[in-house]
């Protein structure tokens, strides 16, 4: 690492508000050459807003921004780019109707003239191979056809490609939220290598282990302020959780004796993907494996099969779907938070033939309390929420509905640690009341909340195990090859 503390970017007293929400309340931060800065905090703590300010996509209401030693006026995305600052946003920014190579071209104005297509392909392919060996993406693929995990891979690789301006700072906002264990590790190893070579990097993640293992320095944000900042080595998991403002409650997974449901309750879902999958009433069923190996497809099949008699898939009871790819599958961007929560339960809000707006508001407020959606007003537009809070609204939509079977498509993307624990608890309670959950997750830690786990590879179920038999090694080995 560099001995001379060379600052790439420095922020002083940066503040920004959105209506009544104070997203940033005076933040001082500097990023140094050859430093990986870990940034953690709750949903809505202001992390993404801060990164948007750094990337020039949002202007601060007040505060100073310096690049090197020079104070910059009228900072913008173009200025940031010209100074080698790149950002991989949580809401992916690729154009779905263009190919991977064409998206690379948009990013790099230098890829012009004859044969740009070939050069763009070579550039992005080389970077993909370098960061994510075995990624299985062709530069000619249409981005809209890729799964969210692959889109994220492309977005990350694109941010690390280099043409005319040298790369100095890369901001990664929840880069691993849609990646599985293997690709996450590939990315983090790559980042570590680049940082050791002099690049600066800001890593935002809700997976605390990633930040603890890979960052040099950790910054904790809460309510628009930096509440702790120190060398990564001085932090422990418990200290981080405490700094974020969580009551450090011991992870109580596996503490209670697991109820044995399999065989003791009626089967409510029966599906087939290479091998049979069954879910019993009140059971939490996990779908594991690497990202994009058929888990989402099976969930969609089950969703489609609801109420249909002729398909091989059998579903007993009303179903709700919790989207993980929230912009494509989840939010209604013109509606308020309450309307987004209530849309699955409209039938219950009808009074004298019309929807009662009071019932809708009551449901919204009730779930704001239950699942702690961070907003002053459930009547404001859903996009005023941070990514994790939007996800909570989608959870509320499913949980508030009459659904007895809830399908979850890797729904914890961008949800912070504290909220995850709360949602796990809600899921357990709801399961105890007889609701059934089918839960696709790319985080092995999460699968410990499931009663029974199916592992997917190449679109088929290759193994299944009970909670007691679950280990990370087992899942990984099944994800890669047939065990003899």
Partner 1 sequence: MTAFKTLSEKPWIWSFLGMIAIWAATAIYTGGKGSADVITAALSFATFTAIVGVGQMFVIATGPGNVDLSIPSTIALSGAVAMKVMDGSNAMLPVGAAASLGCGLAVGVLNYLLIRVLRIPPIIATLSSSFLILSTAIAYGRGLKIKPPPLLAEFTTAQVWGLPVLALFFAVFAFGMSVVLNRTIYGRSVLAIGQNMRAARLAGIKVERTRFLTYALSAVLAATCGFLLAGFSGGASLNMGQEYLLGSIAVVVIGGTSVAGGKANLPGILGASMFMFLLVTMLNTFGASAGVRLVMTGLIIVAVITIAGGEDAQS
Q: Give the residue, chosen from 114, 310, 347, 369, that forms a contact with partner 1 under the rule CB under 8 A.
A: 347
Closest contact distance (angstroms) between CB of 412 and partner 1 is 17
The first and second tokens of residue 398, run together, are 């499913």
How is 27-54 classified by DSSP, letter by letter? EEEEEETT-EEEEEE-TTSSHHHHHHHH
Indicate the residue among 412 and 475 with the shorter CB distance to partner 1.
412
Q: Give the residue, chosen from 62, 258, 259, 334, that forms a contact with partner 1 under the rule CB under 8 A.
A: 334
Instruction: Write phi, then psi, for 228 (nearest 5 degrees).
Output: -160, 145
Q: Give the residue, chosen from 142, 343, 358, 432, that forms a contact with partner 1 under the rule CB under 8 A.
A: 343
Give residues 364-423 in contact with partner 1 (rule: CB under 8 A).
397, 401
Using CB under 8 A as the binding rule, whether residue 330 contacts partner 1 is answered as yes
DSSP SS3 for 360: helix
Using CB under 8 A as the binding rule, whether residue 321 contacts partner 1 is answered as yes
User: What distance in Å separates the CA atoms of residue 484 and residue 482, rounded to the nearest whole number?
Assistant: 6
Are 451 and 437 spatial neighbours (Cβ–Cβ below 8 Å)? no
| Selected range binding partner 1 among 86-94, 206-214, 245-253, 317-325, rule: CB under 8 A | 317-325
Closest contact distance (angstroms) between CB of 436 and partner 1 is 16
How many residues bind partner 1, per CB under 8 A?
A: 24
Q: Give the residue, chosen from 262, 316, 335, 362, that forms a contact with partner 1 under the rule CB under 8 A.
A: 335
DSSP 258: P
Indicate the residue among 409 and 416 with the shorter CB distance to partner 1.
409
Using CB under 8 A as the binding rule, whether residue 311 contacts partner 1 is answered as no
DSSP β-ladder status, 200-204 and 36-41: parallel
DSSP SS3 for 469: helix
Rounded to 5°, angle at Cα 197 from 192 and 202: 50
Are 78 and 32 spatial neighbours (Cβ–Cβ below 8 Å)? no
Question: What are the percentages of helix, strand and coil residues in the chain, rounded to 5?
Answer: 35, 25, 40
Give the x/- contact pattern for partner 1 in 356-375, rule: CB under 8 A: -x------------------
- The beta-strand segments (E) located in 33-141 are 36-41, 62-67, 70-71, 85-88
| Selected range binding partner 1 among 8-16, 36-44, 106-114, 343-351, rule: CB under 8 A | 343-351
Using CB under 8 A as the binding rule, whether residue 18 contacts partner 1 is answered as no
Q: Give the residue, chosen from 64, 66, 227, 303, that forms a contact with partner 1 under the rule CB under 8 A.
A: 303
Indicate the residue among 18 and 332 with the shorter CB distance to partner 1.
332
Using CB under 8 A as the binding rule, whether residue 329 contacts partner 1 is answered as yes
Give residues 112-171 in contact with partner 1 (rule: CB under 8 A).
none
Closest contact distance (angstroms) between CB of 329 and partner 1 is 5
DSSP β-ladder status, 405-409 and 169-173: unpaired
Query: For residues 199, 205, 211 and 213, what is the CA-based torsion angle, rounded to 10 degrees?
Result: -100
Positions that interact with partner 1 (CB under 8 A): 303, 319-321, 323, 328-335, 343-344, 346-347, 350, 353-355, 357, 397, 401
């Amino acid at each position: 690492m560099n001995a001379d503390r060379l600052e790439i970017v420095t922020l002083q007293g940066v503040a920004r508000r959105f209506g009544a929400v104070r997203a940033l309340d005076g933040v001082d931060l500097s990023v140094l050459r050859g430093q990986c800065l870990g940034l953690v905090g709750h949903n809505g703590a202001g992390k993404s807003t801060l990164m948007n300010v750094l990337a020039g996509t949002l202007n601060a209401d007040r505060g100073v921004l310096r690049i090197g030693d020079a104070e910059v006026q009228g900072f913008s995305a173009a200025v940031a780019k010209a100074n080698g600052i790149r950002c991989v946003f949580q809401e992916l920014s690729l154009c779905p109707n263009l190919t991977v190579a064409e998206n690379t071209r948009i990013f790099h104005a230098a890829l012009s003239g004859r044969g740009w297509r070939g050069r763009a392909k070579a550039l992005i392919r080389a970077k993909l191979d370098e960061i994510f060996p075995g990624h299985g993406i062709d530069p000619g693929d249409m981005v809209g056809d890729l799964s969210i995990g692959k889109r994220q891979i492309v977005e990350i690789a694109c941010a690390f490609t280099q043409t005319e301006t040298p790369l100095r700072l890369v901001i990664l906002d929840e880069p691993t939220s849609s990646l599985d264990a293997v690709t996450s590790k590939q990315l983090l190893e790559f980042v570590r290598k680049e940082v050791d070579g002099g690049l600066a990097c800001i890593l935002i993640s809700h997976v605390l282990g990633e930040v603890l293992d890979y960052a040099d320095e950790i910054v904790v944000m809460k309510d628009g302020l930096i509440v702790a900042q120190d060398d990564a080595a001085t932090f422990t998991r418990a200290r981080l959780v405490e700094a974020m403002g969580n009551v450090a409650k011991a992870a109580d997974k596996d503490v209670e004796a697991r109820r044995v449901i399999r065989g003791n309750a009626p089967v409510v879902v029966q599906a087939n993907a290479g091998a049979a999958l069954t879910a019993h009433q009140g059971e939490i069923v996990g779908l594991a494996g690497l990202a994009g190996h058929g888990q989402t497809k099976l969930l969609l099949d089950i969703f489609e099969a609801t109420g249909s008699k002729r398909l091989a898939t059998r579903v007993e009871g009303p179903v709700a779907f919790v989207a993980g790819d929230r912009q494509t599958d989840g939010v209604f961007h013109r509606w308020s938070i309450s309307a987004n929560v209530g849309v699955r339960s409209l039938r219950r809000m009808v009074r004298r033939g019309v929807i009662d707006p009071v019932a809708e508001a009551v449901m919204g407020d009730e779930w704001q309390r239950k699942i702690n959606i961070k907003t002053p007003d459930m009547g404001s537009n859903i996009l005023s929420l941070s990514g994790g809070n939007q996800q909570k609204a989608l959870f509320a939509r499913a949980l508030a509905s009459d659904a007895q079977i809830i399908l979850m498509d890797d729904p914890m993307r961008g949800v912070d640690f504290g909220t995850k624990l709360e949602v796990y608890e809600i899921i357990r309670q709801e399961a105890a009341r007889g609701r059934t959950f089918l839960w696709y997750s790319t985080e092995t830690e999460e699968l410990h909340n499931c009663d029974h786990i199916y592992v997917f590879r190449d679109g088929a179920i290759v193994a299944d195990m009970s909670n007691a038999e679950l280990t990370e090694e087992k899942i990984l080995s099944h994800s890669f090859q047939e065990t003899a």
